[in-house]
Amino acid sequence: MTYFVAFAIAAAALAVAWLIYSRIHFLRRWFIPPALIAGVLLFITGPEVLNLWNDEVRTFIRAWPPILLGYLFAAIVLGFESAPKGSTLMGAVVQQNLFVWFVSFGQLIGAYVIYLLFFQGWVSPLITHVIEIGWAGGPGSAAAMSAVMRRLGEPAIGDLGLFSATLGQVWGAFSGIWIVNRLNGRIDRGIDAKSVSRGHMARPENLVRTEGLADGSHKRPQFEMSSIPRILLLGCVPLLAVLLGYLAQLGLKAVASSTPRILFLGDIPLFSLSLICAFPVRWLLNALNVLSRENCETIQTVNGQVLDFIIIAAMAVLIPSAFLGLLVPFSILVAWGIVFCFVAFFFFGPRMLPPHLWRELGLINYGFATGTTALGLMLLGLLKSNTREESRIVYGMAVPFNAPFVGGGIISLTLPEWTARGGPTVIPILLAACMIAFFFICMRINRSAEKANV
């Protein structure tokens, strides 16, 4: 009975949040997700503040993320249409994909170095993950990290990740608009020879359609009654991968319990196994021609609602007093995140992304690196450019090769396991080697394209 009460409370909070979101222009202007508002409402009405519902309900809500995460990652794999064969954009897609990995790894490396230089032995090394998962991952990934950190015995760092995601979105909106105005000013002065399609300076109220690539938590779902059976059926598709992942988890735990040397296999979380199992499910659905563009968009939309409840659950069980002692190291990590995002856009972007698309893709990636893809697409819509649509296509084609893994994907949420096992000195070295390789590969693709055009 308590489970249904908990779900009813969360659903009611989400409905009220959508009402608030639709009435307050400021929230839409800065892409504050309704799920985040609902989470705040639940937190205020919960045991920490007004105590309108008890700890028993909070215990049930806290149990949601581990299950919902399995669905979330399976749907990420299943919810994107396959790239067209023979596409002429593949070089740009490879560069965009590697740039996302580069940005995510860069946020992590800086955090590891800061921890090793200043905070080793003072705080848990798991704090190194709050910027990459909170900023590059966004609110949904931060909520996922909250569940992982609770499992690793560091709930305060998980709560700090949620605060990091909120702060990143606010900073990304303000700083991103400044970047767009700077780029548009250079175009107006003739410094950058680019065709333009807008004649105004960027304003936050000028929003842009997200073409299905935005975080699902920002969009109100549009369902027709006649399509409900199809939606329900497609919504159940990721559950097949979750079921396979659960069976695999049971098998691994049985093997681990009888073989001490591979005991760690029993600790592999359900979301990791669900994501892996989603690939054979995707192969089967492709063979049956099920994953059309319309069906993929439906899976993404349903997944957005699942993401809403992950965010709500994480916010509802926050205990702010637990992470107040981490504000000093967190502030320094935020400073690193700010500096690195600027460096990634202005220095690495022109060198790693396609020359004719680096500004457009760079803006989408800047939004991704500080909060959500939706923010990046909003910034793109404010740029004076005639290649916005091409950059959206390139970004969308690259998503299946990075979203399931970094920026809040399986690698981002699995690395804390290795950090907790004593990896803060080894992991940054491996990540740095990958970043160097990514940088030179992208540079080589640009040089090859330049020679081909001569």
More confident of the two residues 146 and 236: 236
More confident of the two residues 282 and 147: 282
More confident of the two residues 301 and 200: 301
pLDDT in tens, 383-437: 888 888 788 888 877 877 887 788 877 788 788 888 887 767 788 999 999 999 9
Question: What per-residue confidence (pLDDT) applies to 207?
Answer: 38
Question: What per-residue confidence (pLDDT) applies to 223?
Answer: 45
Confidence band of 196 (pLDDT split at 50, 70, 90): very low
123, β-bridge pairs: 120
Checking if the pLDDT of 454 tops 70, the result is no
**Exposure of 236 by Cβ count < 10 A (0-12 exposed, 13-18 middle, 19+ buried)?**
exposed
Checking if the pLDDT of 200 tops 60, the result is no
Question: What per-residue confidence (pLDDT) applies to 398?
Answer: 86
Question: What per-residue confidence (pLDDT) applies to 439?
Answer: 97
Question: What per-residue confidence (pLDDT) applies to 125?
Answer: 92
pTM of the model: 0.69
Which range of 299-308, 350-359, 371-380 scores highest in mean pLDDT? It is: 350-359
Question: What per-residue confidence (pLDDT) applies to 83?
Answer: 57
What mean pLDDT comes out for the span 197-210?
40
More confident of the two residues 396 and 278: 278
How far apart are the C-alpha atoms of 423 and 416, rounded to whole Å?
A: 9
Half-sphere exposure of 208 (CA within 13 A, CB side): 23
Question: What per-residue confidence (pLDDT) applies to 322?
Answer: 60
Question: What per-residue confidence (pLDDT) applies to 15?
Answer: 93
Confidence band of 153 (pLDDT split at 50, 70, 90): confident
**Across all residues in the chain, what is the average pLDDT?**
81
Question: What per-residue confidence (pLDDT) applies to 369?
Answer: 93
What mean pLDDT comes out for the span 310-326?
73
pLDDT in tens, 227-277: 778 888 888 999 999 999 899 888 988 887 776 655 556 666 677 788 788
What is the amino acid identity at position 132? Answer: E
What is the amino acid identity at position 29? Answer: R
Confidence band of 215 (pLDDT split at 50, 70, 90): very low
Q: Which of 441, 347, 4, 36 is nearest to 215 (CA)?
A: 36
Q: Which of 438, 407, 417, 418 is nearest to 104 (CA)?
A: 407
Q: Which of 385, 403, 401 is nearest to 141 (CA)?
A: 403
The CA distances from residue 21 to 36, 134, 136, 301, in Å, are 10, 22, 24, 18
Question: What per-residue confidence (pLDDT) applies to 193?
Answer: 54
How far apart are the C-alpha atoms of 4 and 276, rounded to whole Å?
A: 31
Question: What per-residue confidence (pLDDT) applies to 84?
Answer: 57
SS (H, E, C) the chain: CHHHHHHHHHHHHHHHHHHHHHHCHHHHHCCCCHHHHHHHHHHHHCCCCCCCCCHHHHHHHHCHHHHHHHHHHHHHHHCCCCCCCCCCCHHHHHHHHHHHHHHHHHHHHHHHHHHHHHHECCECHHHHHHHHHHHHCHHHHHHHHHHHHHHCCCHHHHHHHHHHHHHHHHHHHHHHHHHHHHHHHHHHCCCCCCCCCCCCCCCCCCCCCCCCCCCHHHCCCCCCHHHHHHHHHHHHHHHHHHHHHHHHHHHHHHHHHHCHHHHHHHHCCHHHHHHHHHHHHHHHHHHCCCCCHHHHHHHHHHHHHHHHHHHHHHHHCCCHHHCHHHHHHHHHHHHHHHHHHHHHHHHHHHHHCCCCCHHHHHHHHHHHHHCCHHHHHHHHHHCCCCCHHHHHHHHHHHHHHCCCCCCCCHHHHHHHHHHHCCCCCCHHHHHHHHHHHHHHHHHHHHHHHHHHHC
**φ/ψ bin of 189: left (φ > 0), alpha (ψ from -120 to 50), beta (otherwise):** alpha
How far apart are the C-alpha atoms of 316 and 305, rounded to whole Å?
A: 17
Q: How many residues does the chain have?
A: 454
pLDDT in tens, 48-77: 888 888 878 877 887 777 678 788 778 877
Confidence band of 342 (pLDDT split at 50, 70, 90): very high
More confident of the two residues 155 and 227: 155
To the nearest whole percent, how much of the chain has pLDDT over 90? 27
Checking if the pLDDT of 93 tops 80, the result is yes
**φ/ψ bin of 385: left (φ > 0), alpha (ψ from -120 to 50), beta (otherwise):** beta
Burial 349-377 (b: 16+ CB within 10 A, else e): beebbbeebbbbbbbbbbbbbbbbbbbbb
Question: What per-residue confidence (pLDDT) applies to 323?
Answer: 66
Question: What per-residue confidence (pLDDT) applies to 97?
Answer: 95
Domain boundaries, given as residue ranges, for the chain: 2-453
Question: What per-residue confidence (pLDDT) applies to 203?
Answer: 41
